[in-house]
């Protein structure tokens, strides 16, 4: 993907983000933050490639660290968000 | 094949957007979170089909270790400790982007100017987020002193580290693959992260957490530029935008600019107001029985919770009181200041945990016009956010800070141990107003006493 296409995505996604997030009520700001932690765990995509690639030891080690950290974010983030949102749902 | 993988990433990105959209209403929020989780599942599974992945041992080990740690954290964390958990997750997000970008660097995949700059940016922002978040965590967890820490010339050191990092990235553009310079960049960024957060006081942590949340998104986005992965770019910028909006909301709520929070200190009070002058002879003390009698004749009661309430674990006691009032036909609402907790939306979560219905939780703009029709406002563990000087006294250090106008209620009951000052270190003239009654004592005990008196009366 060329740079301009990437930059286009980046800028448009920021505008989309601002539009979306200003509509999230203050009541849900904490789950919003833990939820965005969870989705920023998308770096797991790069982490998996680095960890599973057939290259140097250093790259595999960095990959392993990245997989661990990103998985903590994904699993921990989604689970704790779910736990909080369940409290808002009842009644 | 690659096209299908990219389309799967696009689907994942769409699910993230729908997930955040779900968070705009409490009713759809759980479903939104599940949609986003499904998107993450899709993205992770299709990545395993990537042609570069040849071994799975390390991947499985990493997922098992990370999954266990994440699950235990999510299950065990106390709601009062949520800011610490978010701080850690911000740091791990930055650390993951940093590690991914470093791996790409050593693979030598970044050769053109754009990918090298993106790699440098991901390493710089990721490492700053990692170490900065660890400091924020340590301050919130009280592993280190929450007071601002620093040394003379700290700003100069920070400037040197930052400019040095930029120059290092520039050098890497001209000489790709120079490992010495790369490690120098890593070290500078990590120290910079520490030094940026150490001088920020504990009271400002809500702003810092929101800002680091934003950084972790930007770092992920930069990693996406390195790898040419659209899912990372889109998701990273969504998170970056989210953190930035929350940062600005927190700054507005504290009436401070971001630069002021990051680099400044609280405005010095021109002349320290004398506590005796504010309080002498004007403070009226009351008892739980008197408050119960007041409440019996009230039609509308507003409860104003502060973090002190959560520290005293009094949320359930407050809900019992509210239930008792409602059973007597009295309207009850909660007034939530944006900085009532220790992070954006924190107080709402703490009250939701005590099964307070979310439609009773009113934010500042919604509740302020209604105080005039309120018979009794009960202030529990909140102080500075009710200080009328922020509205009236132009010389006050907190002048201009948006506050809850509790003093407009017919009667204000302040539950507090003593007349001691809050974070801002200022006396609160609210305590001396004609329509204010002080109920001295422990927050939880006082609430329980009021409830008992109501039930007996």
What is the pLDDT at residue B78?
93
pLDDT of B254 over the 90 cut: no
What is the pLDDT at residue A38?
96
Closest approach of A15 to chain B, Cα-based (Å): 8
Residue B274 confidence class, pLDDT cut points 50, 70, 90? confident
Condensed to tens digits (0 to 9), the pLDDT of residues B151-184 reads: 888 889 999 999 999 999 999 999 988 999 999 9
Of all residues in chain A, the one with the smallest CA distance to B360 is A27
Q: Which of chain A's residues have a Cβ under 8 Å away from the Cβ of B89? A: 34, 37, 72-73, 76-77
Contact (CB<8Å) B99/A44: no
Q: What is the mean pLDDT of chain B?
A: 91
Catalytic-labelled residue, pool B204, B320, B384, B407: B384
Q: Which of chain B's residues have a Cβ under 8 Å away from the Cβ of A86? A: 30
Q: Which of chain B's residues have a Cβ under 8 Å away from the Cβ of A6? A: 224-225, 228, 230, 233
Instruction: Judge if ipTM > 0.90.
Output: yes
Q: What is the mean pLDDT of residues B43-70?
A: 93
Q: What is the mean pLDDT of residues B265-293?
A: 75
What is the pLDDT at residue B266?
47
Q: What is the mean pLDDT of residues B371-398?
A: 90
What is the pLDDT at residue B257?
85
Q: What is the mean pLDDT of residues B361-379?
A: 94
What is the pLDDT at residue B203?
79
pLDDT of B271 over the 60 cut: no
What is the pLDDT at residue B204?
85
What is the pLDDT at residue B267?
45
What is the pLDDT at residue B109?
77
What is the pLDDT at residue B265?
55
What is the pLDDT at residue B272?
55
| Least confident interval from A57-61, B200-204, B220-224, B260-264 | B260-264
Asked about B359 being catalytic, the answer comes back as no
Q: What is the mean pLDDT of chain A?
A: 93
pLDDT of A50 over the 60 cut: yes
Q: Which residues contact B259 (CB under 8 A, 6 or more apart)?
A: none
Residue A11 confidence class, pLDDT cut points 50, 70, 90? very high
Q: Which of chain B's residues have a Cβ under 8 Å away from the Cβ of A38? A: 33, 36-37, 40
Condensed to tens digits (0 to 9), the pLDDT of residues B89-125 reads: 999 999 999 999 999 999 887 778 999 999 999 999 9
* Total length of chain A: 91
pLDDT of B19 over the 60 cut: yes
Query: Which residues on adjacent β-strands are paired with residue B242?
Result: none
Contact (CB<8Å) B33/A47: no
Per the model's pLDDT, the better-predicted residue between A43 and B417 turns out to be A43
Helix (H), strand (E), coil (C) string for chain B = CHHHHHHHHHHHHHHHHHHHHHCCCHHHHHHHHHHHHHHHHHHHHHHCCCCCECCCHHHHHHHHHHHHHHHHHHHHCCHHHHHHHHHHHHHHHHHHHHHHHHHHHHHCCCCCHHHHHHHHHHHHHHHHHHHHHHHHHHHHCCCCCCCCCCCCCHHHHHHHHHHHHHHHHHHHHHCCCCHHHHHHHHHHHHHHHHHHHCCCCHHHHHHHHHHHHHHHHHHHHHHHHHHCCHHHHHHHHHHHHHHHHHHHHHHHHCCCCHHHHHHCCCCCCCCCCCHHHHHCCCCCECCHHHHHHHHHCCCEEEEEECHHHHHCCCHHHHHHHHHHHHHCCCEEEEEECCCCCCCCCHHHHHHHHCCCCHHHEEEHHHHHHHHHHCCEEEEECCCHHHCCHHHHCCCCCCCCCCCCCHHHCCEEEEEECCCCCCCCCCCCHHHHCCCEEEEECCHHHHHHHHHHHHHHC
Q: What is the mean pLDDT of residues A54-64?
A: 91
Closest approach of B251 to chain A, Cα-based (Å): 14
d(CA B73, CA B21): 26
Condensed to tens digits (0 to 9), the pLDDT of residues B312-333 reads: 889 999 999 999 999 999 999 9
The pLDDT > 70 percentage for chain A reads 97
Closest approach of A8 to chain B, Cα-based (Å): 10
Residue B268 confidence class, pLDDT cut points 50, 70, 90? very low
What is the pLDDT at residue A30?
96
What is the pLDDT at residue A90?
60
pLDDT of B126 over the 80 cut: yes
What is the pLDDT at residue B3?
87
d(CA B254, CA B322): 29
What is the pLDDT at residue B264?
61
Of all residues in chain A, the one with the smallest CA distance to B364 is A26
């Amino acid at each position: 993907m060329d740079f301009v296409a990437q930059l286009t995505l980046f800028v448009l996604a920021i505008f989309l983000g601002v539009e979306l997030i200003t509509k999230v009520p203050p009541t849900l700001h904490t789950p919003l933050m833990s939820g965005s932690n969870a989705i920023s765990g998308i770096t797991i995509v790069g982490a998996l490639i680095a960890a599973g690639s057939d290259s140097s030891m250093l790259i595999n080690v960095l990959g392993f660290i990245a997989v661990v950290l990103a998985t903590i974010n994904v699993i921990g983030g989604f689970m704790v968000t779910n736990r909080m949102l369940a409290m808002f749902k009842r009644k | 094949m690659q096209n299908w993988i990219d389309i799967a990433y696009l689907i994942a990105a769409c699910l993230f957007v729908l997930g955040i959209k779900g968070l705009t209403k409490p009713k759809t929020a759980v479903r939104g979170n599940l949609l986003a989780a499904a998107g993450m599942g899709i993205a992770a599974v299709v990545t395993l089909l990537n042609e570069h992945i040849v071994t799975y041992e390390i991947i499985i080990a990493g997922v098992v270790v990370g999954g266990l740690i994440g699950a235990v954290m999510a299950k065990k964390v106390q709601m009062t400790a949520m800011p610490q958990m978010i701080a850690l997750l911000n740091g791990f997000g930055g650390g993951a982007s940093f590690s991914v970008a470093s791996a790409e660097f050593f693979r030598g995949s970044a050769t053109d100017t754009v990918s090298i700059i993106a790699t440098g940016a991901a390493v710089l922002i990721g490492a700053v987020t990692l170490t900065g978040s660890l400091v924020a965590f340590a301050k919130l967890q009280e592993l280190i002193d929450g007071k601002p820490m620093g040394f003379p010339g700290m700003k100069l050191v920070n400037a040197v580290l930052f400019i040095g990092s930029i120059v290092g990235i520039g050098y890497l553009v001209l000489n790709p693959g120079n490992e010495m310079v790369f490690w120098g960049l890593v070290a500078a960024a990590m120290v910079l992260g520490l030094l940026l957060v150490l001088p920020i006081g504990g009271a400002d942590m809500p702003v810092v957490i929101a800002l680091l949340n934003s950084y972790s998104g930007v770092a992920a986005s930069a990693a996406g530029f390195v790898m040419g992965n659209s899912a990372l770019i889109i998701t990273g910028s969504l998170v970056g935008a989210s953190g930035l909006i929350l940062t600005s909301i927190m700054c507005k709520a504290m009436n401070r600019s971001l630069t002021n929070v990051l680099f400044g200190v609280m405005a010095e009070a021109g002349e320290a107001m004398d506590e005796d002058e504010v309080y002498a002879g004007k403070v009226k003390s009351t008892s739980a029985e008197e408050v119960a009698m007041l409440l019996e004749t009230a039609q509308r009661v507003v409860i104003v919770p502060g973090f002190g309430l959560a520290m005293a674990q009094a949320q359930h006691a407050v809900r019992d009181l509210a239930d008792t009032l409602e059973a007597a036909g009295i309207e009850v609402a909660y007034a939530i200041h944006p900085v009532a907790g220790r992070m954006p939306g924190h107080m709402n979560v703490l009250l939701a945990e005590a099964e307070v219905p979310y439609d009773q939780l009113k934010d500042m703009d919604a509740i302020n016009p209604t105080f005039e029709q309120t018979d009794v406002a009960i202030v529990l563990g909140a102080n500075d956010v009710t200080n009328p000087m922020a509205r009236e006294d132009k010389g006050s250090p907190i002048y201009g800070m948006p506050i809850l106008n509790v003093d407009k209620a017919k009667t204000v009951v302040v539950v507090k141990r003593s007349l001691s000052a809050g974070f801002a270190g200022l006396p609160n003239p609210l305590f001396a107003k004609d329509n204010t009654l002080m109920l001295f004592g422990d927050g939880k005990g006082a609430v329980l006493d009021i409830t008992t008196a109501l039930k007996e009366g």
